[in-house]
Amino acid sequence: MIPWLIALAAGVAAAAAVYARARPKGRAATAALRAISVTSLVALALNTVLGARRVPSPLVALDASASWGRGRDTAGFAAAAQAARREGGDSLFVFGDSLRLAGDTLAGRDRASRVRPAAERAMASGRPLVVYTDGEIDDPEALLALPAGSRIVIGGANSAPDAAVLDVSAPRVAAAGDTVEAQVTVAAGAGGAAAGSLQLELANRRVASVAFEALPAQGERTVTLKFVAPAGTAPSELRATVVTAGDAEPQNDAAATVLELTTGAAAVLVSSSPDLDSREVAALLRGTVMLPTRAYFRVAPGQWREDVTLQPVSEEAVRRAVREAPIVVLHGDTALFGAPRQVTRGSLALIAPPVAAQGEWFATGAPLSPVSTHLSGTVWDSLPPLDVSATPPADAEFTILETRRSRRLDQRVAIVGWERPRRVVVATASGFWRWRFRGGVGSDAFTAVWGSLLDWLAGERADVRAAFPVTSAVRAGGAVQWRRGVGGDSVVRALVVRRGATDAGDSLVLRFGEGNNSTLVSAPPVGVYDVQTAGGASLLIVNPSAELLPRRRTVQDGALGSGTARGEAPRARDASWLFALALLSLCAEWLLRRRIGLR
């Protein structure tokens, strides 16, 4: 409106400037023609709006994920597809694994429900988006900024009873004789789930079973099952299966993970002078890195005890465990078996308490180090004091924990570390157990410091395989993260063979960029795969797609979107008649001026 007022004011001003003092007969007509021509020209210069904005037609997208057909009910997807075709958009898109134009035949088979590509296309074109879905969208946050006029249409309610295994969580490695705790999460669909049983199998042999009570609609339950790890030296499939009456979808009744069986412990703690520090670190080592852990305490010269059972252990067995374990924590006399870096082969933590009392030293901060990010939120104020040695190692690559004496400027380093040629941590302090016993902030600080250190040490377990999957169990439709081993090859060939298949398998080429030790590759179809690379074998399990798992709706039916639709209103420069009006009024004014005697 304002540009038109400006144009009209300019036209009136131009007419008044020329004809205000003119007296010839017919000056009103020429003044009107001058006002029309100038107004038209200014409107063209400003490209003013000539009419109401035309809202563009909506972009229509249909969810083609497999969740429509959970329980083998495809009627909901068929009805949604028909409604989407009748919506009236210029074209119909389908989304799920990817965004694409709909073909003549529509089927809900995608292994994901990613709507972001459709939302980005709608926002880029300024068009409203109409989404037909069952409500189970993977990325609902992508719909928050849609243009006004967008909406969601939900259909396909399925109320059949259904129980599914959502997740199987277990330690990555177990030694023969270890008690393994596996946590299995089971969920029910909109129709609930009947009572039944939950079974756990290791390498196709049942190792645990428990009765399973009925679940309400959309209910979840986590069950802990325990079993004793058998002897073995290879990765094995640990599969959980839920069995209930009247289950509508059998494809989601089981899920599996990988449990690597070993003959010895993956982490060993040895203390020549047991104290509360060593016991708390041993407990945290088991709980943080979830590896088979053995702790040995020397109760007298030449007499050793295993920490859990207190059974006697020979000193030679302790030495052998120190030599073979990928992660070793030595407490007390760290040189009892010789130079620590020579008698161990993997990551190493040395805890050497001061021989004599050094006074009270308070933790003040964590300088830049590989674990400083994990310690950034730690509250150092009011932590109990430590006893810190005055002579820390002088050649450390980085400092992990600093301390100061109360009300003084004296500073001492409590923990230092090295990353090359292998990861080593040295703590020349004692009294960390006080943090743990105090609870609250102190317990959190203990867990943050030692948990991050142990987890960092565990991250460098040497692996002779050229490459191996970081997460051995994934969902269909996801990606497998591969990590290269100690060889450091930038190109690794892997032979992937599906168990039970008659063919020779597929050859997979893994490419690792410079300075990048991991790469992502799309997961193969559902199944159990043996992977062979230079240096050894791996096991990869692809569980059924997450689209087959019951879950709550993540979006609601109805209108949404707060963005502005880009519909273009007609502009002055798009109207040819306005150019003609300006030209004709100028010509008519010139002719009329000549007739009344004006030049």
Supply the pLDDT for residue 567. 56
Q: Compute the average pLDDT of residues 503-508.
A: 87
Supply the pLDDT for residue 288. 66
Assign 462 a pLDDT band (cuts: 50, 70, 90). Answer: low
Render pLDDT for 308-324 as a digit per residue (tens, 0 to 9): 788 899 999 899 889 88
What is the fold, at CATH topology level, of the domain defined by 163-258? Answer: Immunoglobulin-like (2.60.40)
Residue 92 has pLDDT above 80, yes or no: yes
Assign 362 a pLDDT band (cuts: 50, 70, 90). Answer: very high
DSSP bridge pairs for 495: 507, 532
Supply the pLDDT for residue 243. 94
Render pLDDT for 547-559 as a digit per residue (tens, 0 to 9): 999 988 899 999 8
Supply the pLDDT for residue 257. 95
Q: Check the CA dihedral 572-573-574-575 and report its sign.
A: positive
Supply the pLDDT for residue 165. 96
Bond prior to 421 in cis (omega within 30° of 0): yes
Q: What is the pTM of this model?
A: 0.68
Assign 24 a pLDDT band (cuts: 50, 70, 90). Answer: low
Mention every residue, 6+ apart, whose C-beta is less than 8 A from residue 577: none
Q: How many CB atoms lie within 10 A of CB 277?
A: 24
Residue 566 has pLDDT above 60, yes or no: no
**Of 192, 209, 198, whose CA–CA distance to 246 is shortest?**
192
Q: Compute the average pLDDT of residues 385-405.
A: 90
Residue 19 has pLDDT above 80, yes or no: no
**Of 337, 327, 357, whose CA–CA distance to 423 is shortest?**
327
Q: Would you tell me which CATH number, out of the four given (2.60.40.10, 3.90.1150.10, 3.90.870.10, 3.30.1360.70), belongs to the domain 467-545?
A: 2.60.40.10
Contact yes or no for 327/268 (Cβ under 8 A) = yes
Q: Which of 66-80, 213-227, 274-288, 302-316 has the highest mean pLDDT?
A: 213-227
**Of 141, 149, 62, 146, whose CA–CA distance to 109 is shortest?**
62
Q: Compute the average pLDDT of residues 89-96.
A: 84
Render pLDDT for 109-140 as a digit per residue (tens, 0 to 9): 898 999 999 999 998 888 889 999 999 999 99
Contact yes or no for 110/136 (Cβ under 8 A) = no
Same fold, 163-258 and 467-545: yes
Q: Where are the beta strands (DSSP E) in 486-572?
A: 491-498, 506-511, 518-522, 527-533, 536-543, 558-560
Residue 530 has pLDDT above 70, yes or no: yes
Supply the pLDDT for residue 23. 65
Architecture of domain 267-458: 3-Layer(aba) Sandwich (3.40)
Q: Compute the average pLDDT of residues 502-520.
A: 84
Supply the pLDDT for residue 20. 73
Contact yes or no for 322/270 (Cβ under 8 A) = yes
- Phi then psi dihedrals of residue 548, to 5 deg: -90, -5
Q: Is 317 helix (H, G, I), strand (E, B) or coil?
A: helix
Supply the pLDDT for residue 599. 64
Q: Compute the average pLDDT of residues 454-468.
A: 77
Supply the pLDDT for residue 159. 78
For 352-412, the three-class secondary structure string (H helix, E strand, C coil) is CCCCCCCCCEEEEECCCCCCCCCCCCCCCCCCCCEEECCCCCCCCCEEEEEEEECCCCCEE
Q: How many CB atoms lie within 10 A of CB 501?
A: 11
Q: Is 132 helix (H, G, I), strand (E, B) or coil?
A: strand
Supply the pLDDT for residue 395. 86
In the chain, where are the structural domains located? 2-53+570-595, 59-159+551-560, 163-258, 267-458, 467-545
Render pLDDT for 466-497 as a digit per residue (tens, 0 to 9): 888 988 899 998 899 998 876 678 899 999 99
Residue 27 has pLDDT above 80, yes or no: no
Assign 500 a pLDDT band (cuts: 50, 70, 90). Answer: confident
Mean confidence (pLDDT) of the chain: 86
**Of 238, 210, 249, whose CA–CA distance to 66 is shortest?**
249
Token pair listed for 101? 């134009």
Lowest-pLDDT range of 91-100, 292-301, 452-461: 452-461
Q: Give Cα separations from 588 to 17, 32, 36, 469, 591 (angstroms).
A: 19, 11, 11, 83, 5
Q: At which residue do the structure tokens 């890195």 appear?
A: 289
